[in-house]
Amino acid sequence: MLIQRVNRTDAEKVFIVVHNVEESTITTGMGARFVGGPDTEAVSNDGISVIKHATGTAGDINFCGVASQDIVADGYGLVQCWGYVNSIAFSFEADKTVGTEDFATGGSVLITGGLAGTWTSGRDIGTANSWLDNVTHRQYLMLWDTVNISSTAQFANWGVGFVRAL
């Protein structure tokens, strides 16, 4: 675990070293989750094996943070698990702008996008896989900017925010 020294000018950040057992690169800004648990698609022999974050209970419970660098398949790299995040990768969603508005209804707490590892619009309170569920699990990613994700590209845009996955 890498913990930034406290200073007066930079936001506090915490990073962990992970092993990417995904068959493809986990790109900077993508969410990562530990393997195992409710979904046993892979077994972690080292306790640091991760794959791209995806929709579902295992994704939410095992969410470990946001990649702070590209992590190649079967490679090791840094994932930010606490603090201000400089880059959050968003997935395309038609006619959609996400932002910090509607915080009371979970608008700034993100859900998994259509492409594994990416993020999209905010969660609702009181529904399955909701904002309230994520806060209960204590791991979430919150957007601190307004981002238009209506582009036709796979990665529509990037934003900044706060990750809490300790």
Binned at pLDDT 50, 70 and 90, residue 123 comes out as low
Res 40 pLDDT > 80:
no
pTM tops 0.75, yes or no: yes
From CA 74, how far away is CA 22, in angstroms rounded? 7
Average pLDDT value for the chain: 78
State the architecture of 2-83 in CATH terms: Beta Barrel (2.40)
Average pLDDT, integer, range 56-67: 80
Residue 58: its pLDDT value, please?
Answer: 62
Cα 117 off chain centre by: 7
Q: Which one is predicted more confidently, 41 or 106? A: 41
Name the pairing type of β-strands 155-164 and 140-143: antiparallel
Q: Kindly report the number of other CB atoms within 10 A of residue 124's CB atom.
A: 17
Average pLDDT, integer, range 119-135: 59
Three-class DSSP category at 110: strand
Which residues make beta-bridge pairs with 161?
85, 143
Which part of the chain has CATH 2.40.300? 2-83
The tens digit of pLDDT for each residue in 62-91 reads 889 999 999 999 999 999 999 999 998 888
Residue 62: its pLDDT value, please?
Answer: 84
Res 166 pLDDT > 70:
yes
The tens digit of pLDDT for each residue in 148-162 reads 777 665 565 888 888
Here the contacts of 4-11 (C-beta below 8 Å, separation 24 or greater) are: 4/83, 11/83, 11/84
Which residues make beta-bridge pairs with 142?
109, 162
Residue 46: its pLDDT value, please?
Answer: 79
